[in-house]
Chains A and B, each alone.
Chain A
């Protein structure tokens, strides 16, 4: 598969982006702008971990869909429930 060097690179990216999240918070941006950046960074990190550390990238796509279904279910519940309050 891939080399240790490659995994190390991923690790460094993850490490740095976690740091950026906190820096964004301290940068004093508007709340929702900071919110957007931080959540997008979290999602990007999650994708990296899943794709490379859990090697979903090299597995049959069905495994990715499987987890995707769980994710969609959880999001549907959260979004619809929150919307019902409006």
Chain B
């Protein structure tokens, strides 16, 4: 992380393109000094280490994401080298370089790190940096939550790193198939930690999805309708929608798995009916959308870079977007093509073969749109273009080979072979190729300096040769069994080629690191728009952009980007930047000159808005993530709900308790901290116009929670179905305690409604009493539940008794955890209300109510499903 500091300072220190001091980081630092006086927040400059711990600014967070993800690329890459060395020759288990289990760990960790900790976060570094600029927003809707996403991500990665040292990390492959994923087969503590690290990662993703969705739907500049939104932003929008729902299903899978590992539930145990199949359903319901989640941002980079370096708008832009929307939807109905070799029935296999063919059609359209754009435009072969063009070629190969796998009959042959390995590396690392192009493309924007073009091209040449040398032989040697280091000896030459390719590919990154690191300090300073023809809004501001992105309010109401100042007469400048309308006519010169005029005029406004200005610093996202990290680390050695004996167990337990303290403390501190989000006038906000950001965010979160509970309930229904529906009795033999709890929850929902009514009537006593009543009722619910559980426990029924009790305790337990979280908030609200809060602004009470009613609704289904039927 610390190497970002010099990079950034270097970028802003001197500018040659005349006069616009506001644009450079140095003066942005000046702005923030004003902040100090106004807010008592101190927001240090980019040269200070402290800045990077407290920043909530989307551009800073973007840089943090990029740098951190590259670190995980190196880590995952080293693991890949280890595997490739092992594969130099076929080996019997006794003559290996890595011990067999170590090899399995390397394979698994490599896959998980690359897919989760490198690829997506790398793309989200760009998304963080670029999307608000493209939207005309000054930051994301919830800047602190954005910082929180980053820190949760970093700590989840650290947790994964820790797992290597707890007897060994997870070794069952990145797909974590059951029953290999339960302690019977992967007993190391580190294997549990790896699963928990993924849970933390998903938390980061969920926070991030809510934030991006709220921002992208609510905070677009006037005139920037979805139809006109730049393509990179479009791909990110669709990505976050897929993330919201897909990762919620993964979270359900991971939480159930964590319970199996730590609490002793038996969902995935061998003796469970269809336990292995349950995992594949949950995992691939997430997993197929995931392949588009990692691929779409790369597609967005491809589209942007193609447009910029062919100097023309993408052909069939509208259809391109429609195709992407279709793929995003269809991606949720193809998951069983990963399960052709399981015991699912033939009808469903055929159905999913058809949907899989269906999803490749819109892809063809996109590929043709890109090719056609290239043919019609005048290409400039810069480094970003070369990478993106290379990515297109690789993607075509990857896509075609995927179609083979989508046919049931062919897949019987290919499943579990290196054909699959080659296929998904072509598509996924093909995506990485485009993103590397994106790194070169936005590097001058981020640092204010140009990279060395010659070294960039050398990097591309080495990368492309290395890539194909590495992955193409794997198609030829497809008969190699996947994840196994022993193979038919006659395939050895192909594997040796691949190993050489792996080293070429990996080492080619050294050229990039050298180039970018050096250029960040000594590259030629660049203007706002070093690429001519670049037409999206990030190129209409200085490089790097000022802290709050735009001077004045961006608007597209005249069909191109311009800025409204406080005095309307100044808003004449039309920096050409509207995507779609700008097309090939935009040129850098026009973009700069009015812009300069605008900035000069803007100075006084800066002062004026500073008083109420937005905040940019908070340490609590960092502390909160640290707390979450400690909790998960602390509980990692649990087995059957028990800590290990002795000192070690005590140390872990202490860590968990400390983690709870830190988490709770930082949550409260965050709640009390005065923090002003970005100010914005509502521009385009379809389809959520007129609804407050906070409310939209809450509903988006609840929608993902619907899928989380859906996953749990789905797992229950599926397991019960496999078991024989009517042969399965509810665990509690008496529904009355459940009914009482239903009454209690319904009543508590009612009191929350009363609390909101009271707050709106500015009736303090009513508010405090109703909130207090809600809290008391919630406690009553938990006590009643505890008594019931205790009773069952004494009857000898507990989490690990059988899968029937597992589903009962775990699902109602997840619900109880939601109740507990709600009660903590209720207590906080009651205390604040007691001191007079929420009478002027009752939104917090309202949003809490939305959550609480949701928890109530969930119970309305849990009660009949687990107590009566």
A residues near B (Cβ < 8 Å) are: 4, 7-8, 11, 14-15, 18-19, 21-22, 25, 31, 34-35, 38-39, 41-42, 45-46, 49-50, 53-54, 59-60, 62-63, 65-67, 69-71, 73-78, 80-86
Contact A78 B710 (CB under 8 A): yes
Alpha-carbon distance between A78 and B339 when the two chains are bound, in angstroms: 16
Contacts A54-B849, A63-B691; A46 near B860 (Cβ below 8 A): yes
Bound: A69/B710 CA distance, A: 12
Residues in B neighbouring A42, C-beta threshold 8 A: 860-861, 863-864
Contact B739 A22 (CB under 8 A): yes
A76 vs B746: C-alpha distance when bound (angstroms): 28
Q: Which residues of B contact A41 (CB under 8 A)?
A: 864
Q: Is the CB of A66 within 8 A of B703?
A: yes
Q: A42-B860, A54-B850, A70-B706 are in contact. Are A81 and B245 (CB under 8 A)?
A: no
Across the interface, name the chain A residue whose C-beta is closest to B758. Answer: A4
Contacts A38-B864, A70-B703, A76-B332; A82 near B721 (Cβ below 8 A): yes
Question: In the complex, what residues of A have CB within 8 A of residue B372's CB?
Answer: none
* A84 pairs with B336, CB closer than 8 A: yes
Q: Chain B: which residue is nearest A38 at the CB level?
A: B864
What residues of chain B lie closer than 8 Å to A76, measured between beta carbons? 332-333
B651 at interface by CB-CB < 8 Å: no
Q: Check B753 against A53 for contact (C-beta < 8 Å).
A: yes
Closest B residue to A66 by beta carbon equals B703
**B contacts with A: majority SS:** helix
Task: Choose from B700, B752, B754 the contact partner of A4 (Cβ within 8 Å).
Answer: B754
Contact residues in A for B687 (Cβ distance below 8 Å): 60, 62, 65
Is B249 close to A, CB under 8 A? yes
Q: Please pick, from A34, A60, A77, the residue contacting B285 in the complex, using a CB distance under 8 A.
A: A77
Which residues of A sit under 8 angstroms from B709, Cβ to Cβ? 74
Residues from chain A with a CB closer than 8 A to the CB of B407 are none
| Residues on A with beta carbons closer than 8 Å to the beta carbon of B721 | 82, 85
Q: Which of B710, B735, B853, B856 contacts A71 (CB 8 A)?
A: B710
Question: Could you tell me which B residues sit within 8 Å of A by CB distance?
Answer: 245, 248-249, 274, 277-278, 281-282, 285, 332-333, 336, 339, 344-345, 348, 687-691, 696, 699-700, 702-707, 709-711, 713-714, 717-718, 721-722, 726, 735-736, 739, 742-743, 746-747, 749-750, 752-754, 757, 849-850, 853-854, 856-857, 860-861, 863-864, 868-869
Q: Label chain A's interface by main secondary structure.
A: helix
Residue numbers in A under 8 Å from B282 (CB-CB):
77
Q: With A39-B864, A84-B336 as given contacts, are A67 and B702 in contact (CB-CB < 8 Å)?
A: yes
The answer to whether A19 and B753 touch across the interface, beta carbons within 8 angstroms, is no
Find out whether the CB atom of B864 lies under 8 angstroms from the CB atom of A77: no
18 A/B residue pairs, CB under 8 Å, sorted by A: A7-B750, A7-B754, A7-B757, A18-B739, A38-B869, A42-B864, A46-B860, A49-B853, A53-B753, A60-B690, A62-B687, A63-B696, A67-B706, A73-B707, A74-B706, A81-B285, A82-B721, A84-B339
**Looking across the interface, which residue of chain A has its beta carbon closest to that of B749?**
A53
Q: When A and B form their complex, which 4 residue pairs have the shortest distance between CB atoms, in order from nearest?
A: A74-B710, A70-B706, A78-B714, A62-B687
Report the separation of the CA atoms of residues A70 and B345 in the bound assembly, to the nearest whole angstrom.
Answer: 26
Among B277, B336, B699, B868, point to the contact of A22 (Cβ < 8 A): B868
Query: Which chain B residue has the least Cβ–Cβ distance from A74?
Result: B710
Task: Say which residue of B277, B281, B714, B853 sits within 8 Å of A53 (CB atoms).
Answer: B853
Q: CA separation between A21 and B869, bound complex, in Å?
A: 10
B703 CB contacts on chain A under 8 angstroms? 66-67, 69-70
Which of these, A39, A50, A66, A70, contacts B857 with CB under 8 Å?
A: A50
Which residue of chain A has its CB nearest to the CB of B705? A70
CB neighbours (8 Å) of A62 from chain B are 687-688
Give the distance in Å from the alpha carbon of A70 to the alpha carbon of B706 in the complex: 6
What A residues does B705 contact at CB under 8 A?
Answer: 70
**A77 and B739 in contact (CB under 8 A), knowing A54-B853, A70-B706?**
no
A7 and B753 contacting across the interface, CB-CB below 8 Å: yes
Chain A residues contacting B860 (CB-CB under 8 Å) are 18, 42, 45-46, 49
Q: List, in ascending order, chain A residues with CB within 8 A of B853's CB.
A: 49-50, 53-54
A59 to B858, CA, bound (A): 21
Is A11 within 8 A of B868, CB to CB?
A: no
Output the nearest chain B residue to A44 by Cβ-Cβ distance. B860
Most chain A CB within 10 A, of B333, B736, B749, is at B749
> CA–CA, A7 to B757, complex, Å?
10
Flag if B743 contacts A15 (CB, 8 Å).
yes
Chain B residues positioned under 8 Å from A69 (CB to CB): 245, 703
Select one of B706, B718, B747, B857 contacting A78, CB under 8 A. Answer: B718
Whether the pair A75, B854 counts as a contact (CB closer than 8 A) is: no
Q: How far is the CA of A82 from the CA of B277 in the complex (A)?
A: 10
A66 and B700 form a contact (CB under 8 A): yes
Q: A73, B245: Cβ atoms under 8 Å?
A: yes
9 further A-B pairs in the complex, CB-CB below 8 A; given A25-B735, A84-B336: A18-B863, A22-B739, A46-B857, A59-B691, A60-B687, A66-B703, A70-B707, A73-B249, A77-B249
In the complex the two chains form, what is the Cα distance from A72 to B717 in whole Å?
Answer: 16
Q: Among B249, B699, B718, B868, which residue has its beta carbon within 8 angstroms of that of A38?
A: B868
B857 contact set on A, CB distance < 8 A: 45-46, 49-50
Chain B residues closer than 8 Å to A45, beta-carbon distance: 857, 860
CB distance from A45 to the nearest CB of B (A): 5
Contact A74 B754 (CB under 8 A): no
Q: A18 and B743: CB pair below 8 A?
A: yes
Q: Is the CB of B688 within 8 A of A85?
A: no
Closest to A37 in B: B864
Asked, given contacts A22-B739, A71-B710, whether A49 binds B856 with beta carbons under 8 Å apart, the answer is yes
Whether B757 pairs with A4 at a CB distance below 8 angstroms is yes
- Chain B CB within 10 Å — which of A46, A70, A85 has the most? A70
CB-based contact B688/A60 at 8 Å = yes
B726/A31 in contact, CB under 8 A = yes
Chain A nearest Cβ from B262, distance in angstroms:
24
Residues of A within 8 A of B868 (CB): 21-22, 25, 38
Residues on A with C-beta less than 8 A from B750 are: 7-8, 11, 53
> Would you call A74 and B714 a contact (CB within 8 A)?
yes
